[in-house]
Amino acid sequence: MDIFGVPIQALMGQLMLGIVNGSFYAVLSLGLAIIFGVLKIVNFAHGAFFMLGAFTAFLLAQHLGANYWTTLLVAPLAVALFGMLFEWLFLRRLYGLDPIYGLLLTFSLVLVLEGGFRVAFGSSGQPFATPEALRGTLNLGFMILPMYRGFVIVAALLVCLVTWFVIERTSLGANLRAATERAELTQAFGINVPRLVTLTYGVGVGLAAFAGVLAAPIFHVNPSMGSSLVIIIFAVVVIGGLGSIMGAIVTGLGLGVVEGFTRVFYSEFSSTIVFLVMVLVLLLRPAGLFGREEG
């Protein structure tokens, strides 16, 4: 059976690959959505933190001989710490101002990080080996999937669900949500709101770095690997509905699939389709697919 001249089996394969890509989008947009929800800042450096994660993993493996599983844990933590330092030193001076200043500051950070890495490591990038244990392939019947890609889906979704659970179902998450809605009142209850905010930024940035480490073996590790990603990720968050955690995850996966099919039917348009979707969604459903309609 064919759909527009493409065998259904091939489409199943593309669907699968779309889900793999969607997993990256889901982790990245989840981080961006959390940061925007709490800090009200568009973290333009999200792509740069993605790159930072991949590079940190590369450096750990290269110079300290760390194995992949260690880097998958350590690199996001290291990047999260760096992000928290950045928040604590600079970003917090801009709270309460027009969000455009936060955007500008994080954009400047992109220039510094990408420029700095290009000075240090050149522009053409580094090879990064797929971990030994995940080198095989999985026969799914309709396609042969490299095992690592399968692992990406599992790892990404696991991290997304844990993050969602912490925010929506634990007391830490409850405090966070309270701080988002009524910062002063939450502070009055004895909760250290600024620390909570710093932590949030760390988690968001750490998620970006986690996606970066996941990406390192299959995408090319180079200083500009995240630079065209940030506007797509932000579009995903907006389509999902600002402030909706689940929206970011589901939309990330969905857009990965949409993009995947576009690569089959109108490949040239595949990096633009997300923007077409965004215009349509915003005009038809102002608060995004999963957002709550507000005044």
Partner 1 sequence: MQLRSLTWPLLIIGLLALLAVPFFPQLVYSVFIMKTLCFVLFACAFNLLLGHTGILSFGHAAFFGSGAYVTGQLVKAYGVPTELGILAGGLVAALLGAVIGALAIRRSGIYLAMITLAISQLVFFFFLQAPFTGAEDGLQRIPRGTFLGVIDLNNDTALYYVVLGIVGAGLWVVWRTVNSPFGQVMRAIREHEPRAISLGYPVARYKVLVFALSAGLSGIAGSLKAIIFQLAALYDVHWHTSGDVILMTLLGGMNTVFGPAVGAAIVSTLNHYLDPFGAWVTVIIGVVFMTCVLMFRQGVVGELGKLLASRRPPTAPPDTTPHASARADSHH
Partner 2 sequence: MPAKIPLRTFALSSMVLAMGAASSAMASNGFSDDVVRIGVLTDMSGIYTDLSGEAAVEAVRMAVEDFGGEVGGVPVEVIYGDHRNRADTGASRAREWYDNDGVDMINDLSNSGVALAVAAVAEERQRHAIVNSSSNIGLTNDYCSPYVTHYTYDAHSLAHGTGKSIVEDGGDTWFFLTVDFAFGIGLEEQVSEVVREAGGQVVGAARHPLDTTDFSSYALQAQASGAEIIGIASTGADAINAINALAEFGVTPGQRPAALLLWYDDIASLGLETAQGLMLTNAFYWDANDETREFSERFYERTGRMPNMAQAGNYSSTIHYLNAVEAAGSDDPDAVSEQMRELEINDFFAKGGYIRPNGRMVHDQYLWEVKAPDESEYDYDFMRLLTTIPGEEAFQPLENSSCHLLEHNQ
Please identify, using beta-carbon distances, which residue of 122 and 286 lies nearer to partner 2: 122
Q: Which stretch binds partner 1 (CB under 8 A): 68-76, 109-117, 158-166, 194-202?
A: 109-117
Give min distance, CB of 88 to partner 2, in A.
Answer: 29
Q: In b/e form, how buried is each residue of 151-177, taking b as 16+ CB within 10 angstroms?
A: bbbebbbebbeebbeebeeeeebebbb
Is residue 278 involved in binding partner 1 (CB under 8 A)? yes
Beta bridge partners of 144: 139
Please identify, using beta-carbon distances, which residue of 53 and 291 lies nearer to partner 1: 291
**Candidate residues 193, 235, 253, 255; the one interacting with partner 1 per rule CB under 8 A:** 235
**Candidate residues 59, 88, 90, 134; the one interacting with partner 1 per rule CB under 8 A:** 90
Interaction pattern, residues 163-202, with partner 2; x per rule: CB under 8 A: ----------------------------------------
**Candidate residues 70, 220, 275, 282; the one interacting with partner 2 per rule CB under 8 A:** 220
Residue owning tokens 């890509």: 21
Q: Nearest-CA neighbor of 230 among 88, 89, 113, 66? A: 113
Is residue 260 involved in binding partner 2 (CB under 8 A)? yes
Number of Cβ within a 10 Å radius of residue 28: 32
Q: In sequence order, which ranges of 90-98 are alpha helices (DSSP H)?
A: none
Residue owning tokens 């690997």: 225
Is residue 213 involved in binding partner 2 (CB under 8 A)? no
The footprint of partner 1 on residues 30-89 (CB under 8 A) is: 42
Alpha-carbon distances, residue 153 vs 168, 211, 288 (angstroms)? 22, 11, 25
Which of partner 1, partner 2, none lies near 275, with the C-beta cut-off 5 to 8 A by kind?
partner 1
Contacts of 185 (CB under 8 A, 6+ apart): 178
Is residue 119 involved in binding partner 1 (CB under 8 A)? yes
Q: In sequence order, which ranges of the chain are alpha helices (DSSP H)?
A: 8-39, 46-64, 68-89, 99-121, 147-169, 171-181, 183-188, 193-215, 229-240, 245-265, 273-284
Which of helix, strand or coil describes residue 40?
Answer: coil
Residue owning tokens 């910062």: 183
User: CA-to-CA distance for 80 and 95, rounded, in angstroms?
Assistant: 20
Is residue 68 involved in binding partner 2 (CB under 8 A)? no
Number of Cβ within a 10 Å radius of residue 8: 11
User: CA-to-CA distance for 93 and 57, rounded, in angstroms?
Assistant: 31
**Candidate residues 12, 15, 104, 199; the one interacting with partner 1 per rule CB under 8 A:** 104
The footprint of partner 2 on residues 92-151 (CB under 8 A) is: 115, 118, 122-127, 129-130, 137, 143-144, 146, 148-149
Beta bridge partners of 145: 138
**Candidate residues 9, 81, 116, 135; the one interacting with partner 1 per rule CB under 8 A:** 116
Is residue 272 involved in binding partner 2 (CB under 8 A)? yes
Residues that bind partner 2 (CB under 8 A): 7, 10, 13-14, 17-18, 20-21, 115, 118, 122-127, 129-130, 137, 143-144, 146, 148-149, 215, 218-220, 222, 224-225, 228-229, 260, 263-264, 267-268, 270-272
